[in-house]
Structure 1
Amino acid sequence: MADEIKAAGIEKFDGTDFGYWKMQIEDYLYGKKLHLPLLGSKPEKMEAEEWQLLDRQVLGIIRLSLSRRVAHNVTKEKSTAKLMEALSGMYEKPSANNKVHLIKKLFNLKMVENTSVTQHLNNFNTITNQLSSVEIEFDDEIRALILLASLPSSWEGMRTAVSNSAGKSKLKYDDIRDLILAEEVRRKDSGESSSSGSALNINTRGGDTIEAHPEQIKNPDTEVKASLDPESRLNVGIVANLVISVGIAQNEETEADFCKRYHR
């Protein structure tokens, strides 16, 4: 049974990330149609002896998914419901220390140069899910801003451009996530490393995408306008400002110097 649990991808619960482990073990038990003991009461149509055997089987399955240290804390529990209640009381109840630890972990999370964006997003979502389990929820825009702030310095151009383009509109986490993933794909396709200066990929209202490299811009209004399909034309001034923002961030210069250097 232990091998079967391991094969199902369920990690032994070691006292951390209780919410994730609980989700895994519940999904496993429901998939095996062994979930009734989780509900805590015997179905009316089930014999008492049959219920006791089922409850004991599920109790054993859950114990096998616990680390030795955690299992020692619940050895006295003799039913599935009592076992889960005890684990929840020890590891799921939000405490001030746990909240502080997770908040620090989130705000200290930084993506390392030349590492996987997908892995960084997984780490980010793991922490925010853990915070949700202790009743701390972030507004969607706050999540988007924290994610942007966690990117390395080589992404500063994109970060600045996105921030400037938002104006008074609220950023959406899903949009920022998709933009970051698309940028990683673009860098891989072009052979760039994460520490390389990035082009700016801009989605138009019609769904088209244009790519603008600050070092190639000599007349932003003309070149960007020419790149747009007539049916999906954006405000050219906004696009030009985005390109200029990337150039300023990447070259560490003022807007006046940037425009002077690239003005035709």
Structure 2
Amino acid sequence: MDDNAMSNLHLALADSVLSSVAKKESTKEIWDALTKLYKVRSLHNKIFLKRRLYTLRISESTSMTYHINNLNTLFSQLSALDHNIAVNERAEILFQSLPDSCNQLIINLTNNVLTNYLVFDEVAVAILEEESKRKNKEDRSASS
């Protein structure tokens, strides 16, 4: 099984990267070498990712699914650098990244909360549902 995994890794890597792991004899050795090469835990990386996260804004033409995936990627990258963002803060970051056209949705979601915080996944689901409703309404208008 290890040979199969090693073959898949070799196929997935660019030639310039493959030369760095060609002599490794197990998937663990390949993974460790790749981690050493590409997983930089520097202050620079953490600051860069936090700046991207806190300044991220969605444009009106970007899909919410893409935007939420982008946010989740940034959260994961920061977690890999030992900087975890609390669940309620993730929801707040999602809200602040939305366009002004979502202000009413934000008001509705925050008014209906019985606790002092929101959960990112629940907010994301509500936003995706709202986007779906808007698209369905636009599709019906366009077909009429």
TM band (smaller chain): 0.7 to 0.9
Q: CA separation in 2, counterparts of 1:80 and 1:177?
A: 36
Q: CA separation in 1, counterparts of 2:13 and 2:106?
A: 42
Q: Deviations over 1:222-241 (max 9, x none)?
A: xxxxxxxxxxxxxxxxxxxx
Q: CA separation in 2, counterparts of 1:70 and 1:98?
A: 21
Q: CA separation in 2, counterparts of 1:93 and 1:165?
A: 41
Shift of 1:89: 1.6
Q: 2:84 — aligned with what?
A: 137
Structure 2 residue ranges without an equivalent (≥5): 140-144
Q: CA separation in 1, counterparts of 2:116 and 2:27?
A: 49
Matches within 5 A, 1:95-106: 95-106=42-53
The one-letter amino acid of 1:160's match is I
Q: CA separation in 2, counterparts of 1:125 and 1:161?
A: 23
Structure 1 97/72 Cα, relative in aligned 2: closer, same or farther at 3 Å? farther
Structure 1 76/98 Cα, relative in aligned 2: closer, same or farther at 3 Å? farther
Q: 1:191 — aligned with what?
A: 138
Aligned-partner SS, 1:62: helix
1:84 paired with 2:62, answer no
Q: Deviations over 1:43-99 (max 9, x none)?
A: xxxxxxxxxxx4xx5434312211233223334434433222111122235222222
Q: 2:74 — aligned with what?
A: 127
Q: CA separation in 2, counterparts of 1:139 and 1:66?
A: 34
The one-letter amino acid of 1:89's match is K
Structure 1 191/93 Cα, relative in aligned 2: closer, same or farther at 3 Å? same
Matches within 5 A, 1:229-248: none
Q: Deviations over 1:182-232 (max 9, x none)?
A: 11122122229xxxxxxxxxxxxxxxxxxxxxxxxxxxxxxxxxxxxxxxx
Q: 1:163 — aligned with what?
A: 110
Q: Which protein shows a greater Rg?
A: 1
RMSD of aligned residue pairs (Cα, Å): 2.4
Structure 1 residue ranges without an equivalent (≥5): 1-33, 38-53, 193-264
Structure 1 81/115 Cα, relative in aligned 2: closer, same or farther at 3 Å? closer
With normalisation by structure 1, the TM-score equals 0.47
Q: CA separation in 1, counterparts of 2:19 and 2:47?
A: 27
Q: 2:14 — aligned with what?
A: 67
Shift of 1:158: 1.9
Identity between Structure 1 and Structure 2 (%): 32
Aligned-partner SS, 2:98: coil
Q: CA separation in 1, counterparts of 2:137 and 2:28?
A: 55
Q: CA separation in 1, counterparts of 2:62 and 2:134?
A: 12
Q: CA separation in 2, counterparts of 1:122 and 1:95?
A: 24
Shift of 1:151: 0.6
Shift of 1:180: 0.5
1:147 paired with 2:94, answer yes
Shift of 1:114: 3.1
Q: 2:57 — aligned with what?
A: 110
The one-letter amino acid of 1:151's match is L
The one-letter amino acid of 2:37's match is M
**Structure 1 or 2: more helix by fraction:** 2
Q: CA separation in 2, counterparts of 1:108 and 1:88?
A: 28
Q: CA separation in 1, counterparts of 2:113 and 2:13?
A: 46
Q: CA separation in 2, counterparts of 1:84 and 1:143?
A: 30
